[in-house]
Amino acid sequence: MAAQNYSTEIAIIGGGVGGCAAALSALEAGAQVILTEETIWIGGQLTSQGVPPDEHGWIERFGRTASYARFRKAVRHYYREHYPLRSECCDDPKLNPGNGWVSPICHEPKVALAVLKAMLAPYRESGQLQVLLETTPTLVDLGHNDTITAVKLTHRDGREIRIEAPYFLDATELGDLIALSGTESLTGRESHAQTDEPSAPAEAQPENNQAFSWCFALEHLEGTNQVGKPPRDYDYWLNYVPNITPPWPGEWLGWSGLNPRTMEAMHYKFAPHQEKLGLFSGLWTFRRIIDRDLFEPGTYASDLVMVNWPMIDYLEGDLISADATQRAKLYDGAKQLSLSVFHWLQTEAPRPDGGIGWPGLRLRPDILGTEDGLAMAPYIRESRRIQALTTIREQDVSSAHLPAGSDRARQFDDSIGVGYYRIDLHPSCGGDNYVDVHSLPFQIPLGALIPMRMKNLLPVCKNIGTTHITNGCYRLHPVEWNIGESAGCLAVHCLREKHTPHQVHADIDRLTTFQKLLSNRGVELEWPDQNLDPIEGDPHAHVMHLD
Q: What does the pLDDT read at residue 2?
A: 75
Question: 342 with 363: CB under 8 angstroms?
Answer: yes
Strand pairing report for 415-419 and 160-164: unpaired
In percent, the amount of the chain with pLDDT more than 90 equals 90
Q: Is the pLDDT of residue 544 over 90?
A: no
Q: Is 140 helix (H, G, I), strand (E, B) or coil?
A: strand
Q: What is the mean pLDDT of residues 349-377?
A: 97
pLDDT given for residue 149 in this prediction: 98
Classify residue 3 by its DSSP letter. Answer: P
Q: Coil, helix or strand for 99?
A: coil
Which residues lie closer than 8 Å to 92 by C-beta, 6 or more apart?
A: none
Write the pLDDT tens digit of every residue in 457-505: 999 999 999 999 999 999 999 999 999 999 999 999 999 999 999 999 9
For 508-541, write each residue's pLDDT tens digit.
999 999 999 999 999 999 999 988 888 889 877 6
246 neighbors 433 (Cβ within 8 angstroms): yes
Given a cut of 50, is residue 143 above it in pLDDT?
Answer: yes
Region at 99 (left for phi over 0; alpha for psi -120 to 50; beta for the rest): left
Q: Please tell me the distance from the alpha carbon of residue 409 to that of residue 146, in angstroms, as a whole number.
A: 33
> What is each CA distance from 454 to 139, 145, 195, 515, 522, in whole angstroms?
16, 8, 22, 22, 28
Separation CA 466–CA 239 (nearest Å):
36
Average pLDDT, whole number, for the chain?
Answer: 95
Categorize the per-residue pLDDT at 33 as very low, low, confident or very high, splitting at 50, 70 and 90: very high
Q: Are strands 160-164 and 288-290 parallel, antiparallel or unpaired?
A: unpaired
Sheet bearing 160-164, strands edge to edge? 4-7, 160-164, 148-155, 135-142
Q: How far apart (Å, rounded) are the C-alpha atoms in residues 438 and 491?
A: 33
Alpha carbon separation from 210 to 432, 469, 518 (Å, rounded): 9, 10, 32
The residue that leads in pLDDT, 278 or 312, is 312
Say what the pLDDT of residue 281 is.
61
Confidence of residue 546 (pLDDT cuts 50, 70, 90): very low
Calculate mean pLDDT across residues 97-104. Answer: 92
- What whole-number distance in Å separates Cα of residue 404 and Cα of residue 397? 13
Tens digits of per-residue pLDDT, 224-239? Answer: 999 999 999 999 999 9
- DSSP 3-state of 516: helix
Cβ(176)–Cβ(459) below 8 Å: no
CB neighbour list of residue 386: distance below 8 Å, 6 or more residues apart: 175, 178, 183, 184, 185, 451, 452, 459, 463, 464, 465
CA angle centred on 197, ends 191 and 202, rounded to 5°: 30
* pLDDT score of 1: 66
pLDDT beyond 90 at 354 = yes
**In the predicted model, is pLDDT for residue 249 greater than 80?**
yes
Q: What is the DSSP string of 287-325?
A: TEEE-GGGB-TTS-SS-EEEE--GGGEE-S--TTT--HH
Between CA 54 and CA 50 the distance in angstroms is 12
What is the Cα Rg of the chain in Å? 22
pTM of the model: 0.97
Residues 312, 338: contact at Cβ < 8 Å? yes
- State residue 538's pLDDT score: 85
Would you identify the CATH topology of the domain 4-96+108-190+382-537? FAD/NAD(P)-binding domain (3.50.50)
User: Do the Cβ atoms of 48 and 377 come closer than 8 Å?
Assistant: yes
Low-confidence winner among 24-38, 112-126, 273-287, 356-370 (lowest mean pLDDT): 273-287
> How far from 325 is each of 201, 297, 319, 322, 331, CA to CA, in Å?
30, 48, 11, 8, 10
| Lowest pLDDT segment from 16-20, 146-150, 435-439 | 435-439
pLDDT bracket for residue 109 (50, 70, 90)? very high
- Residue ranges covered by each domain of the chain: 4-96+108-190+382-537, 212-381
SS3 357: coil
User: What pLDDT does residue 3 have?
Assistant: 83
Residue 282, pLDDT score: 87
pLDDT digits (tens, 9 = 90+) for 250-300: 899 999 998 888 889 988 899 999 865 454 568 999 999 999 999 999 999
Q: Pick 442 or 533 by higher pLDDT.
A: 442
Distance between CA atoms of residues 359 and 339, nearest Å: 14
Burial class of residue 174 (count of CB atoms within 10 Å of its CB; 0-12, 13-18, 19+):
buried
Q: Would you give the DSSP letter of residue 401?
A: G
Q: Are 167 and 73 spatial neighbours (Cβ–Cβ below 8 Å)?
A: no
What is d(CA 285, CA 55) in angstroms, rounded to the nearest whole number? 16
**Average pLDDT value for residue range 334-354:** 97
Identify whether the C-beta of residue 420 lies closer than 8 Å to the C-beta of residue 533.
no
Return d(Cα 312, Cα 216) in angstroms, integer. 10
Average pLDDT over residues 340-357: 97
Residues 300 and 223: their CA atoms lie apart, in Å, by 16
Report the C-alpha gap between 541 and 57 in whole angstroms: 10
Dihedral sign (CA 329, 332, 334, 340)? negative
| pLDDT tens readout for residues 144-174 | 999 999 999 999 999 999 999 999 999 999 9
Question: What pLDDT score does 326 carry?
Answer: 97
Distance of alpha carbon 245 from its chain centroid, rounded?
25
